[in-house]
Structure 1
Amino acid sequence: MKITVIHGQSHRGSSYHITQQIFDKISNTNKEIYEYFMPNDTPSFCVGCYQCIMKSESACPQAEKVQNIVASMEASDLIVINSPTYCLEMTGQLKTFFDHLGYMWLSHRPKPVMFQKIGIAISTAAGGGSKKVAKSIAKQLFWMGVPKVYRLNKNIKGSTWQTISNKMKESIDKETTKLSRKVEANIGIVRPGLGLRFLFTIMRSMQKSNNWNEVDKNYWKENGWLDKKRPW
């Protein structure tokens, strides 16, 4: 099993430890993990040049860093993205990375392989807001075509992994065990649900009448998606 994990922070706090628990509990003995830490692996800020959308993802000024992570995502069966909650949002460095992936959205040039993957969105908060952050991360994966995205969010009532209560750690242990089993049961067999299929149909209709971006429209044509072919 190949796994890409993107940490929305560089410190190894609660979100990191929860992610590690999930990896440890997945029984597959041939796990190959590609791991990235923000901000060290984060590309610079998106400058809104539209080069990735109007020309090619390789035309992005930050293409080298972005495409290194994207290649790992494409090669993986499971994509895990975590973030602590900063001011009720995901970390700025993680959002900076997501800003570079707009060209992969269903509205532009979604990758066919993304429709076969499982995602996990993880967030923790010392106070509140983790549910909103996990939902936001999951939304990003959904718009890239990932058909199954699990969410795990915990308001841990502590600023570090070491300061949270044993009761909270027991609750996390139960949730990570349950989640790892769900992943193992569904890896390789997920298919897009009605919501994703419906959105794909809407975007297909939009691309049929697309007279503003030849790169996007040609991409859909080449994949056969403007006809009867589908990426699942």
Structure 2
Amino acid sequence: MRIVVLHGQLHKGSTYNITKLFLDNLSDENTEIIEYFMPKDTPSFCIGCFNCFTKGEEQCPHAEVVQPIVKAIEEADLLVLESPCYVYGMSGQLKTLLDHLAYLWMPHRPHPKMFSKVGLVISTAAGAGTKKVTKALKDNLFYWGVAKIYRYGKNVAASSWETVKPEKKRQIEKEVIKLASRISKQIGKTKPGIKTKAIFQVMRMSQKINDWNPTDREYWLQKGWLDSSKPW
């Protein structure tokens, strides 16, 4: 199994440590884990040039940084996106990377392998906000076409992992073990749900009747998706 993790931060606080708990419970000696840490691995800000949409993702000014991450994502069985809650949202450095991946959304050029992947999104906060972060991260995975997505958000009531109360850490560990077991059972076996299939059909019809972006339309034609073919 291959796991790709997009860390929304460099510091190893509560979100990182909970992510590591998940990885410890999801992996074995045959598991390959590839990790990217923001902002170390963050590309420059998206400049809104539309090259990825209209000319192809390789024409992005930051393709040299973005595309190796995309290739790793495409080959993963499990995708993990995590970020601490920063003012009721994900970290800006992770958002910067995700901005570059808009062309992977179902309205544009979703990769066929996305429809068989499992996703996990994780966030922590000293107070509130993890629901908003995990929802935003889940939305990105959903519109990439990821078949099954799990969310884990936790109010740790502390500003560092070291100061999280022992009883809360024990509770977190129990929850992580339970959820990791559920995730393990889905890897390699999951298929898109009704909502994903419905969005895909809407996008199929949109590609049939609209030609505002020939690059997207040609992609769908090459995949055979404008007829009855499906990516799952």
Instruction: Name the TM-score class by shorter chain.
Output: over 0.9
- 1:182 & 1:29 partners in 2: Cα distance? 19
User: What's 2:156 paired with?
Assistant: 156
**CA offsets 1:74-101 (integer angstroms, 9 cap, x no match):** 1110000100000111000011011000
Q: Spell out the pairing of 1:79-228 with structure 2 (5 A cutoff).
A: 79-228=79-228
Deviation at 1:173, TM superposition (A): 0.3
- 1:86 & 1:137 partners in 2: Cα distance? 13
User: What's 1:61 paired with?
Assistant: 61
Question: What is the SS of the residue equivalent to 1:61?
Answer: coil
Q: What letter matches 1:29 in structure 2?
A: E
- 2:57 & 2:171 partners in 1: Cα distance? 42
Question: What is the SS of the residue equivalent to 1:84?
Answer: coil
How high is the sequence identity, in percent, across the aligned residues?
50
Question: What is the SS of the residue equivalent to 2:83?
Answer: strand
Deviation at 1:210, TM superposition (A): 2.0
- 2:69 & 2:26 partners in 1: Cα distance? 22
User: What's 2:25 paired with?
Assistant: 25
- 2:16 & 2:27 partners in 1: Cα distance? 19
- 1:213 & 1:89 partners in 2: Cα distance? 31
Q: What letter matches 1:204 in structure 2?
A: R
Question: What is the SS of the residue equivalent to 1:131?
Answer: helix
User: What's 1:11 paired with?
Assistant: 11
- 2:171 & 2:194 partners in 1: Cα distance? 32
Q: What letter matches 1:226 in structure 2?
A: L
Note closer, same or farther for the CA distance 1:4–1:193 as it changes in structure 2 (3 Å cut). same
State how many pairs are aligned. Answer: 232
- 1:28 & 1:90 partners in 2: Cα distance? 29
Q: What letter matches 1:203 in structure 2?
A: M
**CA offsets 1:41-61 (integer angstroms, 9 cap, x no match):** 000100000000001000000
Q: What letter matches 2:103 in structure 1?
A: Y
Deviation at 1:196, TM superposition (A): 0.3
Q: What letter matches 2:225 in structure 1?
A: W
Deviation at 1:27, TM superposition (A): 5.0
Deviation at 1:29, TM superposition (A): 2.4
- Is structure 2 residue 31 aligned with structure 1 residue 70? no
- 1:117 & 1:211 partners in 2: Cα distance? 29
Q: What letter matches 2:120 in structure 1?
A: I
- 1:161 & 1:190 partners in 2: Cα distance? 33
After TM superposition, the score normalised by the length of structure 2 is 0.98
Q: What letter matches 1:193 in structure 2?
A: G
- 2:187 & 2:147 partners in 1: Cα distance? 11
**CA offsets 1:149-187 (integer angstroms, 9 cap, x no match):** 100000110000000111210111011101111121111
- 1:26 & 1:48 partners in 2: Cα distance? 37
